[in-house]
Structure 1
Amino acid sequence: MQLNGVPPTMDQVKALALTNYGHFTSMLTEDGRVRGLSLHLQRLARDCRLLFDADLDIDQVRNYVRQALVDQAPRTVARVTVYDPGLDLGTIGSDAAPHVLVTTRAASTSDPGPLRLQAAAYRREMAAVKHIGLFGALRCRRTAQREGFDDVLFLNQDGTISEIATSNIGFVRDGSIVWPRSEWLTGITMTLLNQALDEPIHSEPLTLKDLPAMEFVFATNAATGIRPVASVDDHSWPVDHAVLKQLRELYADIPAEQI
């Protein structure tokens, strides 16, 4: 854990627990390279401007990530969190001086298993921003896991599907990929797939009533790549569909950028 390139003090870290205002991105690093690194950095810069009215030095962020990866495993998940430890509940409206916290954890070396999802009515606040206010999402995930599922699928108030707690969800119908049309966080992995796919991007409003028509369902996440979805509530699908292999191969062929 490094804050602006050095170990943080307890006072600096406690702002994450007591104020919990900021944003982040997580990326899978492999031998110092990241697929979609430019997109991750663009996300950080955009969200910093939205949340703090401040610019973020992207080159410095890269330096911080590079430094944090020294002596780490070749495959490591690095999380970059941007927040201001000087802000508190009473001074949240003050001019901000965003800091960059980089934390790392070992990445799995095996393909992630299929997900069993529970649908729940919930919409993240500022859904287009990858902010650190995860209480509602984690509360829904906890409920799903306590009831025997792996994660939660969010539904809007009108019943349309949006996203998984920390992943995007995609569907295959009649051999083509369909993304739910909703306000959600635009994931890096989803964006890279859309750029690499040799077909037009298609999205439409989807509800649970549309699930029986789907041939295959998958989740995308920067840390885990492409993961099959085995079920949503009592709707289930095969997890060895040919599209899974195709998408994973397509994703693996996307060139990674040097940090």
Structure 2
Amino acid sequence: MTHIEINGAAPAIEALYQAAVQGFGHYTSMQVRGRAVAGLDLHLKRLREASAELFPDDLAPADDTITDLIGHALRDERDASVRVTILPGMDVMVSVSAPIPDTPRPPLRVRTVRFERDLPHLKHRGTLAQTHHALGARRAGFDDVLFLSPDGLVLEGSVWNAAFWDGDRIIWPQAPMLAGITMQVLHRAFAGMDVPQTTMPISLSEKSGLKAAAATNSHFPDQAILQIDEINFPMYGHLTALLRRGWNEVPWQAI
């Protein structure tokens, strides 16, 4: 099922070579179900704003152009994983592969590393360091990594955002990080559901008052985190149920 198009056409080998060796660019990844996407407007906004920042001298493709290119690359597929990458020259590469099943996943055990991505607000192609740290955590017996700022504040996971529960409300980290689309649509859904939530700097300790933690991204909106370093979070059931409830309220936008 995997295939790639650049600017709406099957790419020549030269174009694929350039896409492979160019480290400069940005992207967004999404799950498509029934030819619809949760937070499609936010994905398009992400691409538009990142293009303006990284390619200020070029005219970014219009939102309608992006959605047309996604629809064309999907062919007859209704469910898929899609990545849209904006390359130098404003070439638009759309990669289509099999959908990621939205099935229950076991709770994560993660370790922390003090590391902040370059240009953390952008979903850019410079992923070597975060992948290196994630693989290092797995070699050490953990499932993944959670990044902390130099002063110990929670930032983000390797490819996910963290959510916490203090017994009364959901807490999202306030820090230099990528605002994940799933995190954004959940925040929007909870606002409409009157679910208590806040965004604030988060420090991890046994005395933090945090009772539960979870990881969220387009592959899994509600994966529990059982342990961060030596701190256990066994009371994750209420938080993951809230995240799932919010996810079920998210409208899917047609491509």
Shift of the alpha carbon at 1:143? 0.7
Answer yes or no: is 1:13 the counterpart of 2:6. Answer: no
CA deviations over 1:122-141 (Å, ceiling 9, x no partner): 10000001101101111111
Indicate the residue corresponding to 1:169 in structure 2.
162
Superposition map of 1:214-229 within 5 A:
214-229=210-225
Superposition map of 1:229-240 within 5 A:
229-238=225-234
CA deviations over 1:58-112 (Å, ceiling 9, x no partner): 111101111121233x43111101102xxxxxxxxxxxx2111111222233233
Q: Which 4+ residue blocks in structure 1 deviate beyond 4 angstroms?
A: none
Shift of the alpha carbon at 1:5? 1.1
- Secondary structure of residue in 2 paired with 1:137: helix
One-letter amino acid matched to 2:80? T
Length, aligned pairs only: 246
Identity %: 30
Indicate the residue corresponding to 1:117 in structure 2.
110
- Secondary structure of residue in 2 paired with 1:149: coil
TM-score, structure 2 normalization? 0.90
The 1:75/1:116 distance shift into structure 2, 3 A limit, reads farther
Q: CA RMSD in A?
A: 1.7
Unaligned runs of 5+ in 2: none
Indicate the residue corresponding to 1:104 in structure 2.
96
- Secondary structure of residue in 2 paired with 1:202: strand
Contact 1:189–1:225 (CA under 8 A) maintained in structure 2:
yes
More moved, 111-120 vs 58-67 = 111-120
- Secondary structure of residue in 2 paired with 1:126: coil
The 1:132/1:192 distance shift into structure 2, 3 A limit, reads same
Contact 1:77–1:223 (CA under 8 A) maintained in structure 2:
no
One-letter amino acid matched to 1:233? D
The correspondence for 1:186, drawn from 179, 190, 193, is 179
More moved, 180-189 vs 238-247 = 238-247
TM-score, structure 1 normalization? 0.89
One-letter amino acid matched to 1:103? S
CA deviations over 1:137-195 (Å, ceiling 9, x no partner): 11111111111212110011111110001111010002211112211111111111111
Superposition map of 1:1-259 within 5 A:
1-53=4-56, 54=58, 55-72=60-77, 74-84=78-88, 97-109=89-101, 110-197=103-190, 198-199=194-195, 201-209=197-205, 213-238=209-234, 241-259=237-255
- Partners of 2:112 and 2:203 lie apart in 1 by 10
Contact 1:107–1:223 (CA under 8 A) maintained in structure 2:
no
- Partners of 2:236 and 2:111 lie apart in 1 by 21
CA deviations over 1:24-66 (Å, ceiling 9, x no partner): 0001110101110000001001101111113222111101111
Contact 2:85–2:92 (CA under 8 A) maintained in structure 1:
yes
Contact 1:26–1:223 (CA under 8 A) maintained in structure 2:
no
Contact 2:205–2:231 (CA under 8 A) maintained in structure 1:
no
- Partners of 2:131 and 2:91 lie apart in 1 by 25
One-letter amino acid matched to 1:12? A
One-letter amino acid matched to 1:41? L
One-letter amino acid matched to 2:230? D
Contact 2:213–2:236 (CA under 8 A) maintained in structure 1:
no
Contact 2:189–2:249 (CA under 8 A) maintained in structure 1:
no
One-letter amino acid matched to 2:128? F
One-letter amino acid matched to 1:150? D
Indicate the residue corresponding to 1:89 in structure 2.
none
